[in-house]
Amino acid sequence: MAETNTPDIIYTKVDEAPELASASFLPIIQKFARAAGVDVGTKDISLAGRIIATFPEALNEDQRQSDDLAELGKLVKTPEANVIKLPNISASVPQLVAAIKELQSQGYALPDYPENPSTDEEKAVRAKYDTIKGSAVNPVLREGNSDRRAAKPVKAYAQNNPHRMGEWTKDSKTRVATMSSGDFFSNETSATLDREAEAKIVLVGKDGSETVLKDGLSYPAGTVVDATFMSAKALDAFLEDEIAKTKDEGTLFSLHMKATMMKVSDPIIFGHAVKAFLKPVFDKYGEEMKAAGVDPNSGLGDLLERVKDKPKIKAEIEKVMGERPPMYMVDSDRGITNLHVPSDVIIDASMPALIKAGGKGWGPDGKEHDATCVIPDSSYAPVYDETINYFKDTGKLDPATAGTVQNIGLMAQKAEEYGSHPTTFEIPHDGTVRMVLADGTVLHEHEVQAGDIWRSASARKAPIEDWVQLAIDRQKAEDCEAIFWLDENRAHDAELIAYVKPILEEKGVADKFKIMAPREATRATLETIRNGKTSIAITGNVLRDYLTDLFPILELATSAKMLSIVKLMNGGGLFETGAGGSAPKHVQQLMEENHLRWDSLGEFCALGESLQFLADARGNEKARVLGKAVDAATQGILDHGRSPSRKVGEPDNRDSHYWFARYWAEALAAQSDDADLADHFAPIARELAEKEEAITSELAAAQGKAVDLGGYYHTNAEKTAKVMRPSETLNSIIG
């Protein structure tokens, strides 16, 4: 059971733009919630907070803090859980290192991140830091499956105010390049356990020597267990071929990975791409660069920094770059390429943005060009390939008439957590990797070579059954097309289909669902929404992540405004604030110009759902009134155009919070379900309206100059509050 002093709602402390926005918005939430007897507390799951919590022995007593992620991990397994979860950093190594350095500069005596640990002490430190890397938060909190969809007012607004879409032409050279063999998709094997089992993963060398890669694995009966590997030689050959093809075709070379969530596999693949693009440089100066600490997995930016005092290497890099195809740019003004930092280009955001732009990406000349989209593993590359082919065939989508795609995603209990967990390995030498059960049964076996990337994932029976039931419930509620995006020719998907079909038949709803491979499902779904209808995409975990950016970006221009509800398997609720990431560029603009363009619409939607859930779970009818009024306030923000502007000098995130508070108070004052709440909020609504000019003037006056937050990953609370709450008039009303 949860502790009795657990707040009614937990609002997570996170990173970057959403955390800055919280400094403005959370005091409003807490004031309004108190009127309904609702306690809103916080838990720190930020990158800096998790680092601090991991090394208490290195810190002073006043610097230490509790392991809030672990506490939340326990809470979400209880019926009492009601968590509003904002986007947090899924840290790449460069981000982790930068956060550590910042904390050290603030007086935290943390150990350095050992990039090449040699001693037992360094290996222990590295192991602790590795638990923080990548998608370390979501697997802990997501003790339920995902229900993501556009809130009705958000969808209506997008149709009434359609965003600009780039033009697609049949002669576009933009294409997806993916491996046809030797990748994770090609090599995957899968099995469903008929009994509870323990297992280990071993590498058997050519000489018969055995290295235990992972021991102590445990799976309940009914678990689908997968294993696969990517051939390093096949990857290198593929990359070399695509670089040459891209040069011949005259397009931008772009690599689309997820080095944040896939924290083991994708940085390695990214490093292969860096080496392939600069192959002549590595052939000529590889040993010297290695001695200088160059790790291609850290990206071109880190490489250039480490060789900045080596003119021969720099000259060779410039020569080779001149001979290569132009590269897709993260920031052409500053020369930041696709290969600079592994966490800069994240596939689920980068590919939809490119597709929305008509297949165009920014080149080093600051202009838009067609691009070769390199997605090495072919598991889900067909989704993007088919989307591009579809728009070449039919032209761009019209957001004014487009229907919508909802998603039911399998993710509970770390389902399909490929690459972001401790069962992914870069193979040290040739041999055979085996997953061996305790009774000696070899569940999976692959012949591998040095440098190959081997990985395993699993999905348990209870989450799979819960996922199918959630899909049935959602389809019944919507009475629309519903597709399980599963490929009978893929090993893992075939095992899931063996679960899905009997459940659908037993429930008498098999005729309500289709089962289609991702490529075919993509085209069918695009046709559905082009005709203004709704489709439900029922997918595994990784594809859930990709589709809940792809379709919202096409429909709404953003994925940050989605309802994202996790119905926890033990009865609690987790309400995620969209799928839009933590927006580091927004922070940069705030620090330089004191303008925050982060849109809190996702937080508004999650807050409404959380309050309604609280009302149902606790019988708190005042919370229900508050939740309904949140919906009215959200509609007011959209109807009156109160979302943040992108430009300094225009209304920003803080202005939108003022308007949200005003619309929320007005809705509460006008409602007839609770006279006490109406009486309580009437004077607040009146004062917020009467002092509009003073408040908006104070907010506007704050903009246009650089601000100091006291840090980036670990900001100073007082400085941040001063920046994010610059209206004394508003503060006096909110308290």
Poorest-pLDDT segment among 50-64, 362-376, 401-415, 561-575:
561-575
Q: How confident is the model at residue 419 (pLDDT cuts 50, 70, 90)?
A: low
Average pLDDT over residues 561-584: 85
pTM higher than the cut 0.75: yes
Torsion of Cα atoms, 251 then 348 then 420 then 605, to 10°:
160
How many Å apart are CA 223 and CA 582, to the nearest integer?
A: 33
Burial 311-325 (b: 16+ CB within 10 A, else e): eebeebbeebbeebb
Strands 82-85 and 9-13: parallel
**Residue-wise burial string across 461-483, b where 16 or more C-beta atoms lie within 10 A, e elsewhere:** bebbebbbebbbebbeeeebbbb
Q: Residue 236 pLDDT > 80, yes or no?
A: yes
Cβ neighbors of 164 (< 8 A, separation 6 or more) are: none
Residue 422 has what pLDDT? Answer: 83
Contacts of 472 (CB under 8 A, 6+ apart): 504, 507, 509, 512
* Euclidean distance between CA atoms 274 and 586, whole angstroms: 28
Q: How far is 490 from 473, CA to CA, in rounded Å?
A: 27
Give the side-chain half-sphere CA count within 13 A for 21: 32
For the chain, what's the residue count?
735
Q: What is the pLDDT of residue 418?
A: 67
Q: Once rounded to an integer, what is the mean pLDDT over residues 190-215? A: 97
Euclidean distance between CA atoms 161 and 154, whole angstroms: 10
Lowest mean pLDDT among 338-352, 383-397, 398-412, 475-489: 338-352
Q: Residue ranges of the domains in the chain?
A: 9-143+570-734, 179-184+231-400
Give the pLDDT score at 582: 75
- Is a pLDDT exceeding 50 seen at residue 266? yes
Span 590-646, pLDDT tens digits = 999 999 999 999 899 999 999 999 999 999 999 999 999 999 999 999 999 999 999
The pLDDT tens digits for 471-512 are 999 999 999 999 999 999 999 999 999 999 999 999 999 999
> b/e for 597-634, b at 16 or more Cβ within 10 A?
bbbbbbbbbbbbbbbbbbbebeebebbbbbbbbbbbbb
Supply the pLDDT for residue 420: 60
Q: What is the pLDDT of residues 428-448, one digit of tens each?
A: 999 999 999 999 999 999 999
Averaged pLDDT, 40-59: 97
Tell me: pLDDT of 3 over 50: no
pLDDT per position as a tens digit, 649-669:
999 999 999 999 999 999 999
- Spatial distance between the Cα atoms of 328 and 342, rounded to a whole number of angstroms: 14
Give the model confidence (pLDDT) of 157-196 as tens digits.
999 999 999 999 999 999 999 999 999 999 999 999 999 9
Q: What is the pLDDT of residue 581?
A: 66
Q: How confident is the model at residue 579 (pLDDT cuts 50, 70, 90)?
A: low
What confidence tier does 91 reach under pLDDT thresholds 50, 70, 90? confident
Residue 580's pLDDT is what?
A: 60
pLDDT at 60 over 80: yes
For the segment 60-77, the average pLDDT, to the nearest whole number, is 96
CB 421 within 8 A of CB 183: no
Amino acid at 317: I
- What span, in angstroms and rounded, lies between the C-alpha atoms of 261 and 416? 12
The helix-helix angle for 152-160 and 621-639 (nearest 10°) equals 10
Strand partners, 374: 177, 255
Angle of CA points 652, 653, 657, to nearest 5°: 120
- Round to whole Å and give the CA distance between 428 and 524: 43
Q: Residue 160 class from Cβ within 10 Å (0-12 exposed, 13-18 middle, 19+ buried)?
A: exposed
* Average pLDDT, rounded, for the chain: 95
